[in-house]
Amino acid sequence: MSPHAVNTLICGAGPAGLALACALHDRGLTVCVLEQADEATLAAPADDGREIALTHRSRRLLEDMGLWQRLPDIAPLRRASVRSSGSRQPLPFEAVGQDLGWLVSNHHLRAAAWAGVRERGVTVLCGRSVVGLARSGAVARLHTRCGELHEAALVVAADSRFSALRRLAGIGARHQDFGRSALLVPLAHEREHEGLAQECFLEGHTLALLPKTGRRSSAVWTVANAALPGIAAMDDAALAAAIARAAGHRLGAMQVAGARHVYPLVAVWAERFVAPRFALIGDAAVGMHPVTAHGYNLGLYGIQALARRLSPSVDAGQPAPLLAYEAEHRRAAGPMYAGTNALVRFFTDDRAPVLALRRAVIDIARHLPPLRAAITRRLVDAA
């Protein structure tokens, strides 16, 4: 039995930290979350432009926590297609008899997770910026900028891919800066998207169109950082016309239907996911490039892997469950992380031979249904 009033302290009330708090509470643990933002920001998170594609497994995990049921505007992802500039036809993906996944706005996920912790009565201390970590014997302690000291058997860092707590724990991380940024643009358009997500790898830039509910989509336009000021300077009409052109006018005329957001693309892989009385979760463990839409999905899988190893009857900071969590999560996340980075390199290298190879790969894959079925199974992740 843990001698602590709180078994687990979580630093960060993002979608990963809050979902972990729900999962641990449901297993009977006593949890406290420390978050630097204020309560009003967490209760009504601002739209940050991100549309999060969720797999079948993530849906089940969110349903088990009662969070899925709180999500508004869930857009089914029925089909996907991948094009490379110059390829004859797009490469289609479709899961027979079921959706490939679902798209949900990140701020809705955050609001649902916040409502989930509120409903459970989990303690969330807002306006607490964590600045220190100390561990000795059976105790881990967090220090906040406002001078508070909190202690528990286990501390979990869920404080983003640029995690300060990871550094304080002495855990290094490999950062891969792609030298590109994603410009997110909400769009309204003339034609139905029919649940089709389009990924277009064009020379010098990539464009993804993600279906939202109604005749709305989110454009994710990935460009070299040097090209960003030119695009940012476009007015809404010019930007919508440029996106419609790049997408081959498949959705008809487009209008920008909200604020734009920019995210520099940096992937992060922590050298270890655990240390004595300490674990990393969410983007603090693995920060993915968004092209394969797996960052939060992996975050949820990690939460499941950690939560199922903890219970109120054992010391939550013992090495055995933490090491087992680390082994499982590295096995799940490693191939996805390496595969995504390799895919990005291959599809953003515009040297002539690579461009030709990419067209050939797409054309060949179109004629290999078993390969497409295997990739679709991976996308659906229905295991």
Ligand X SMILES: Cc1cc2nc3c(=O)[nH]c(=O)nc-3n(C[C@H](O)[C@H](O)[C@H](O)COP(=O)(O)OP(=O)(O)OC[C@H]3O[C@@H](n4cnc5c(N)ncnc54)[C@H](O)[C@@H]3O)c2cc1C
Q: Which is nearer to ligand X, 157 or 251 (CB)?
A: 157
Say whether residue 290 binds ligand X (CB under 6 A).
Answer: yes
Strands 31-34 and 8-11: parallel
Q: Which is nearer to ligand X, 87 or 217 (CB)?
A: 217
Among 263, 276, 332, 359, indicate the residue that binds ligand X (CB under 6 A): 263
Task: Give the angle 185-377-371 at the CA atoms, nearest 5°.
Answer: 100
The residue count for binding ligand X (CB under 6 A) is 33
State the sign of the Cα–Cα–Cα–Cα dihedral 110, 115, 121, 127: positive
Say whether residue 273 binds ligand X (CB under 6 A).
Answer: no
Task: Give the angle 130-31-121 at the CA atoms, nearest 5°.
Answer: 110
Q: How far apart are CA 138 and CA 16, in angstroms?
A: 25
Which residue in 138, 143, 139 sits closest to 165, CA to CA?
Answer: 143
H/E stretch holding 113 reads helix 106-120
Query: Cβ neighbours of residue 87 under 8 Å, at least 6 residues apart?
Result: 358, 359, 362, 363
The site string for ligand X over 38-67 (x = CB under 6 A, - otherwise) reads ------------x-xx--------------
Among 102, 269, 296, 325, indicate the residue that binds ligand X (CB under 6 A): 296
Shortest reach from residue 33's CB to ligand X, in Å:
9
Shortest reach from residue 312's CB to ligand X, in Å:
24
Among 90, 186, 211, 282, indicate the residue that binds ligand X (CB under 6 A): 282
Window of 29-37, 232-240, 351-359, 373-381 that interacts with ligand X by CB under 6 A: 29-37
H/E stretch holding 60 reads helix 56-64
Give phi and psi for 238, each to the nearest 5: -65, -40
Window of 66-74, 244-252, 293-301, 359-367 that interacts with ligand X by CB under 6 A: 293-301
Shortest reach from residue 184's CB to ligand X, in Å:
6
Residues forming the site for ligand X (CB under 6 A): 11-17, 34-37, 50, 52-53, 106, 129-130, 158-160, 164, 182, 184, 263, 282-283, 290, 293-297, 299
